[in-house]
Structures are given as structure tokens and as C-alpha cells.
Chains A and B, each alone.
Chain A
């Protein structure tokens, strides 16, 4: 009798268009969000705008089809921003979804290499080394989510693909630069990573499997963040999902990172990294009730 046609995919907030398909006997549609009526549709094209509020939050959307006398003919429901059921993410051990700011890769690699050399110098087998460096629990899993995307924002005035200006070929008056000059040389400028957005997605994915989970963000205080959502909004969303967040930085002074994200652990030395990893491991081993529940 009634179906929700809009895909409502991704993580949504604010006003969003909603379209439903209805059977011939339907005279009106009531839209309910988290149990409260928010919109009515009285005629084709059976579309409305539903305001999900400014924050990223889990919502339950319901559309109720009514006949001309107001009687209930049927309904359809959809979760919004709720983590999907993901069998691949489920398992006995815990799961860490890590978001690595590309600017932190080099200092972390330097720490790792120094430690590796040190362990080899005292006679440990090079083949076994990776396993010995900052282990998680025996059944814990790690998923890496890159914050690198060319889509710097999803709220631009129009669809934008990186493009060049027009280059004039065989232009008189200056040294000619033909097609073969421009063809290999034009590359678009990189855009900053989207750290907070990646943290939102990481929380969404981490929560999918149930069980013990955490999101780890490794960021540099000097990095720009081209995210749609702010660190505070990302933190609130993860809090609602019951997914703990740890923020690390290899920089000595967390500076603006702490102002944006709250508690930041400095991992600029090997002992600090070991200590932060131990804290993360303990978090995964904590009883589930202490981490909140997926709505």
C-alpha cells in the first residue's frame, strides 16, 4: 500500500526530500519521525521535505497511508543514520576502525623503523617483528578508513569536478605550447583530508558488527579538515552509537587538535605509543555494557 522511494542513504541531517509510492486507495500520507508527526502529503507527487534536525543522529522514519476517512491503510518504516547489520564486522574479538591523517604516516613510520632496527640489533627475528610491535588482542581486527577523498565538501553550490581553464593551442605572440605540452602536465590540486567525516563513517562501520569496538583517529594538529561535519558533531554521533573514540597525534603539542577533539593522546615516542595502544586494547576488553548500545 505504501513504500518509501527515497533512498535516504549516507549519513543525513537537516531537511531531506522524501518521496513515497502509494496504492490507489490512499488519500493522504502522514510522516512520523521518531514517533512524532512531522509532515503530511495530501496528493501526488507524494513528496515532502522532512527536517532531521541539525545534528547527525539516528532516527526512525515512518510513513502511514490513510484512506479518505482517515483510516490506516498501511505503513512503511526506515532507519536513518543507523549502522547497517554487517556480518563481516561481527566476530568474537574487538574491532578498531582507524582513520589515519596522511600527514602522520611519516612520523609514525620513523618511530616504527627506529624500533624495528633496535629489536633486530638485540637479535629478534625480522620475520616475527611486525607481530610483536604494538599487538592488539589475539582476535581483534583492524579496519583502515582513509579520510582522503577529492570530494572536499558535499555542500557546494553545484557538482564540481576538478577542471582546468581553457588553454589556447598555437597561440600567437608567445612561445607555442601545443597539445603535447598540456596533455601530461595538468594535475588537479589536492584537497585536505576529511577527518571528522571519516570518523563519523568509521563509527557507523564500527557499530555495525556489535561487540567491542573503537574508532582510532591519528591526526596532525597542522592538518586542515575539509569535513562536512565538525569534530564535536562527530564525537556526539559516536557517543550516540556507543562507539568510543581515541585521538592520537605524533606531534609534541596537540594544539588545535585538542581544542577541536577534546582529549588527545600524544604518541610521539615509542613508550607513548605502547601506552596508548595498551589503553586501546583495554578499551576493547572492557565489558560491552560500559560502552553503550547501538540504538
Chain B
């Protein structure tokens, strides 16, 4: 047995130190990245430097322990830059004699000890209050329809986990634990049935069985910097005040975006913490630029008290990459929306082009909104949202974008981007959720 001491969570690129621990003496350990041996050691410390390349991309890293004859005696692997959290949760369903799920229990694991602070369980988008997550009876349901049982867990330090299982309808008595969601766009009014899509999805040229097609509720992840957030807040607050002043009845939602079950989540562009390194690294770039008060112009105290607080560095592109990872993890139609002020400097490690390519690999569509004029180099098409009418138009376009998407469930667990559309999918009116040219130089 061999295990990873270093867990490469979050977004990884460039050279990284990876440490493993064999359970018993071994002759050698190899690091295998995406099927290729990239490092080998024949004695402790079992610490390697693995180069994940400049670009963000999903990878599979394996640690292979070998005996003196070069035979593999143990192996451990982990997914890199793929939708995976430090905490994971899973559903276990108990089926009746007809194979129909009747009871559910939730299990969870955190990489370090800890119990969830909160658990929210929903069935077809409706929250189930008062159920015991470790085991409860499912509410009555129509077995001819697809149903979705979901759990959202929150641990200390803001760590979250989610579990979802889909059953019923076209799934029959199968559950989705060994299925992969492939997001697509539909050109027709309705998504085709699973039966019409056999042979339409392939991995490495081989057909992958299609189990179901689901025009499910969508996830929207909004990435915002401070300046953009302030402008959006001004716009919405002004309209809310106008309704109040005129004593008008306000619509339920001034910016109708979602329908039943759609969800929205926000990601901030200011970084809270960086990934663990074996040692410590104090990054001057995480601090605001110092302010020069010059040569004794106003004594000591005056500039100390009256200097404006310098701006906290923003890492817009890096936050978009993280948002893509979050959006891809839901197994639902998804969009990441970046709301930016083009005048805000971006101190990201990744470039916008690198992040767009990464989102394409994850099949997460990206829309870019701008609250200010000017260019947003590298981000492709930018939609203005600096005034109320523009904001409404951008939300309407986003709504249409979400309604065009569906999720095709295929058999097996596949890395992001591994399953692609064959010509039969195009013939059936489907196309990839993200165009193949997105992120390439314009």
C-alpha cells in the first residue's frame, strides 16, 4: 500500500513537491503523470518534484511502488485540477424488491477530522427538513420521472462538499454514482432522448453508452472584483429605491434569471489563502503596494492617519479558474460569469487565455461582463453592464444561455473533457457546451 502525503487540491500548475508514503519497504517509487513516468526514486525521502506544466489542465497523478524485480506492488492516484473537494460526500440508496430506491443514507469524508456544521438535503429541489442524513426514507415519487437527491455539506473553514444522485425515469433502477455528466447545447427546442444518442458520445474514439438526457436546473457562479461589486450594488439599490419612492409594487425579481432549482454562487477575486507548501513562503504580492509619503512632508502622524488604504491585490483570472472548477463539479448546466472593472489590475498567476482554455477543458461556458468602458484584454467578448438596461440585457442573455444547455449522463467515470461529441451528436442537434476555439488567440 502507498499513499499520498501531499494532496494536490485546488488549482495546480508548474513544479510542485509531492511526497508519498509506502506502507512497507519498497525498492523504488515512480511518479506517473497522465500515464507517463516523470520521476523515480530508489530510496527515502519519498519526495518528488513533479512539473504540471505552465497551463492549467486536468491531470491524473499516480504513485507506483515497485519491488526489487521492478514489479508493481502498490499504487495510489489522485486527480489534479478536476472537480474534487477536500471533503467528499456520497449517497447510498437502498432499493426495494423492484429495484426502486426507497431509502437513502449520506456518508462523508473530510481530509482532516471534522464533522459538518450544516447539511442541507433536497429532493427535486425541495429542501427536506428534519431528516436524519445517515438514513431516512425517501418521500413518495413518480418512478417514471427523473429525480434528484442532493446534499450540501459545510465544514469548518468554509470547506464544502456536495453529493447528488439521480434515479428514476430513463435511469430505471440504476443510480448515477458511476455516471459522468457531459454538458451540451441543444439546437432544437427539446433535448433528444437518450435512446436516440447511442454512439453519439465517444472517449478516445470508442462509443460511451448514454444513460439519460437531463435539461436540469443550472448553476451560475459569479466572479466579482470589489469595484465591480460596488457598481452592481449601486445599480440594483437605485432601482429598488425608485420602486419604494414611487410606492410601486416591486416584481419578485428585478433581474429574473433562474427558474425552479437554479442556483447562484459568488466568488471573490481577493485571495483568502494560498496552497500549502512544504515550507513557508511569504508572498509580497499578497499585500497592497506600499505608499510613499515622501521626504518628511507632513510629519509622521499625518500621513499615517490620513493616507488612503491601498487597494488589496485582485487575482481575477485565478478566481475565474476556481469558479470553473466549482461550476464543473455540480453535474448540471453551468455558466461562470466574470463581472469586472477593466481598470482593476489583475495580479493572477494565470493569464485570461490560460483560464479560458482551462474552462473549455472543463466544458464550463464563460460570460464576461464589464461595469466600465475600455478593453478587457484576453477575455474575449465582453458584455457591458455599466447601466441598468445593459445589466438587464446581459442577464436575459445569460438566461437564454442556460436554457440552451442540457446534461447528457454517460456510463462510467471519466475525467473532464475526456468524453467528446461524435458526428451523430451533431446530427441529433447537440454541440459542445463550450466552442472548441474558446481561449485560442483571436
A contacts, CB < 8 Å to B: 6, 9-19, 45, 47-49, 51-52, 56, 91, 93, 96-98, 100, 102, 105, 108-109, 111-112, 130-173, 176, 178-188, 191, 194, 197-198, 200-201, 204-205, 218, 228-229, 273, 277, 280
Contacts and interface: CB of A to CB of B under 8 A. Distances in A.
Interface stretch (B59-67, B201-209, B279-287): B279-287
Nearest to A46: B49
A111 B160 CA distance: 46
B427 interface: no
A134 B305 contact: no
B255 to A, nearest CB: 4
22 contacts: A17-B17, A45-B49, A49-B45, A51-B279, A93-B296, A142-B300, A142-B304, A144-B290, A144-B304, A145-B287, A146-B287, A159-B275, A160-B271, A161-B267, A166-B265, A167-B265, A169-B262, A178-B254, A186-B266, A201-B287, A228-B282, A229-B282
Nearest to A16: B279
A168 B261 contact: yes
A167 B261 CA distance: 10
Interface centre among B9, B235, B278, B280 (most CB of A within 10 A): B280
A16 B49 CA distance: 10
B78 interface: no
Given A146-B288, A179-B257, A180-B255, A133 B267 contact: no
A52 B282 CA distance: 14
Given A17-B17, A136-B296, A143-B293, A159 B322 contact: yes
Contacts of A10: 281-285
B178 interface: no
Contacts of B39: 45, 47
Given A17-B16, A158-B275, A168 B266 contact: no
A280 B403 CA distance: 65
A142 B294 contact: yes
B284 to A, nearest CB: 6
Which 9 A-B pairs have CB atoms at the shortest separation, nearest pair first? A14-B279, A178-B253, A47-B49, A169-B258, A158-B10, A156-B273, A184-B233, A130-B298, A180-B254
B296 A184 contact: no
A213 B395 CA distance: 54
A272 B278 CA distance: 44
Given A10-B282, A96-B300, A172 B268 contact: no
B155 to A, nearest CB: 11
B313 to A, nearest CB: 8
Nearest to B315: A161
Interface string B78-111: 0000000010000000000000000000000001
A134 B300 CA distance: 6
Contacts of B281: 10-12, 16, 154
B125 A140 contact: no
Interface of B: 7, 9-11, 15-17, 38-39, 45, 47-49, 51, 86, 111-112, 125-127, 152, 154, 157-158, 160, 219, 222, 229, 232-233, 235-237, 252-288, 290-307, 309-310, 312-313, 315, 318-319, 322-323, 326, 395
Contacts of B273: 151-156, 158-160
Given A17-B15, A151-B271, A165 B295 contact: no
Contact of B86 (A158, A161, A168): A158
Contact of B160 (A146, A165, A184): A165
A223 B122 CA distance: 41
Main secondary structure of the interface of A (DSSP, over half): mixed
Contact of A179 (B111, B258, B295, B297): B258
Nearest to A202: B290
Contacts of A158: 9-10, 86, 273, 275-276
Contact of B278 (A14, A169, A201, A277): A14
Contacts of A160: 10, 158, 271-274
A16 B296 contact: no
Contacts of B395: 179
Contacts of B253: 169-170, 176, 178-181
Contacts of A16: 277-279, 281
A197 B233 CA distance: 33
Nearest to B274: A154
Contacts of B154: 165
A183 B152 contact: no
A49 B17 contact: yes
A164 B273 CA distance: 15
A169 B261 CA distance: 7
A287 B107 CA distance: 67
Contacts of A96: 300
Given A51-B279, A159-B318, 4 more contacts: A97-B290, A155-B277, A184-B235, A204-B284
A150 B279 contact: no
Contacts of B275: 156-159
Contact of B310 (A139, A146, A168, A172): A146
